[in-house]
Amino acid sequence: FGRMKAGLAKSSSRLTQGLGDLFTKRKLDDEALEDLEDLLITADLGVNTAAKVTGLLSKTRLGQDITADEIKTILADEITRILEPVAKPLEIDPARKPHVVLVVGVNGAGKTTTIGKLAMQHKQAGRTVTLAAGDTFRAAAVEQLKVWGERTGCPVIARDTGADPAALAFDAVTQSRQQGDDLLFIDTAGRLQNKTDLMAELGKVVRSIKKVDETAPHSVLLVLDSTVGQNAHSQVETFGEMVNVTGLVLTKLDGTARGGVLVALAEKFGLPVHAIGVGEQAADLRPFEARAFANSLVG
Ligand code: GDP
């Protein structure tokens, strides 16, 4: 937990400092409210959240003196209220052998790394886990997953570069099922430059998985790089059109001032946030906790 706080410290700096600058014992008038609303929008919290918080303050505190700490408390409470319903760990159905997790997202978002981290956690929890290198387009992606396989002691199902990802997914579910695994993670390509191709490819992968197990995939994780800020919205929309996204993982919250986007995403889409990435190492995946996140966001 200490590391989660440390990992997130940087993501809060802009908002924290902004709030401190804005409210050094200042009367809460319309101008102050407007400044606050701008600050919240700049911090990626979204227009709705910004309007809600300022509306709440306007109703209860307009014309009164207010300190930065008081604003922070109100803000943290409001953010917690928004985040609580989406803070849900990834649930693995023990009746599924395997529970199939399809992992999607744009290149560089952190899919492969997140799969490695999740594999480590579930392996340590005593589950049998197999990884499938479904991004057959990039040799580096396959190699990277193999490295994670070695690191975590999980078998990796891979094919040569350029192989059909749907055929690979079919083989992976078949083999994992024969092994009686608890979990199978399937990596995918994320070439968003060609949306039509990617959509067709992901559709085919899902149909292939269903040929082996019609209830699968049991989870579809969308991995988002939090440093892209507002772009995360269009990624949720785009991937939502391609596959039935069941949950999110936000990565790179260690090196960014843009953690606020998570609040906007929670309010807009209401998708479960299963975990957050706070570094490149195996241990750098944290459960997503609403109160802790809200507190560290406002500082
Ligand atoms: P993919 O293309 O979606 O599979 O993305 P990768 O898993 O290859 O990740 C892209 C880069 O981001 C790699 O250099 C990772 O080490 C890095 N990365 C992934 N998650 C995190 C994170 O939570 N924090 C930081 N700092 N880097 C991350």
pLDDT of residue 138: 87
pLDDT of residue 144: 95
* Cα(129)–Cα(184) distance, integer angstroms: 6
pLDDT of residue 148: 97
- The residue ranking higher by pLDDT, 43 or 236, is 236
pLDDT of residue 66: 87
pLDDT of residue 8: 54
The two structure tokens encoding residue 126: 């005593």
* pLDDT grade for 14, boundaries at 50, 70 and 90: low
The two structure tokens encoding residue 86: 């989406």
pLDDT in tens, 128-160: 999 999 999 888 999 999 999 999 999 999 998
- Stretch 229-258: mean pLDDT: 90
Q: What percent of the chain has pLDDT over 90?
A: 69
pLDDT of residue 239: 95
pLDDT in tens, 254-263: 866 678 999 9
Chain mean pLDDT for the chain: 91
252 lines ligand 1 (CB under 6 A): yes
Q: Using CB atoms within 10 A of its CB, is residue 157 exposed (0-12), middle (13-18) or buried (19+)?
A: buried
109 lines ligand 1 (CB under 6 A): yes
pLDDT over threshold 50, residue 6: no
Mutate to test the pocket of ligand 1, among 10, 113, 185, 252 (most ligand atoms within 8 A of CB): 113
Hey, which residues does 277 pair with through a beta bridge? Answer: 285
pLDDT in tens, 161-178: 889 999 999 999 999 999
Mutate to test the pocket of ligand 1, among 187, 280, 284 (most ligand atoms within 8 A of CB): 280
Q: Classify the phi-psi angles of 201: left when phi > 0, otherwise alpha if psi is within -120 to 50, otherwise beta.
A: alpha
pLDDT in tens, 184-197: 999 999 987 788 89
pLDDT of residue 153: 97
* pLDDT grade for 296, boundaries at 50, 70 and 90: confident
pLDDT over threshold 50, residue 88: yes
- Stretch 24-46: mean pLDDT: 87
Q: For ligand 1, what atom is nearest to the CA of residue 276?
A: 23
235 lines ligand 1 (CB under 6 A): no
pLDDT over threshold 70, residue 279: yes
- Stretch 203-230: mean pLDDT: 96
* Cα(146)–Cα(156) distance, integer angstroms: 6
Residue 107's contacts (CB-CB under 8 Å, 6 or more residues apart) are: 138, 189, 190, 191, 192
* pLDDT grade for 43, boundaries at 50, 70 and 90: confident
Tell me, in angstroms, the distance from the centre of ligand 1 to residue 50's CA: 30
pLDDT in tens, 98-117: 999 999 999 999 999 999 99
What is this structure's pTM? 0.93
pLDDT over threshold 50, residue 1: no
* Cα(40)–Cα(109) distance, integer angstroms: 24
Tell me, in angstroms, the distance from the centre of ligand 1 to residue 198's CA: 20
* pLDDT grade for 298, boundaries at 50, 70 and 90: confident
- Stretch 27-51: mean pLDDT: 90
Q: Using CB atoms within 10 A of its CB, is residue 240 exposed (0-12), middle (13-18) or buried (19+)?
A: middle
pLDDT of residue 18: 76
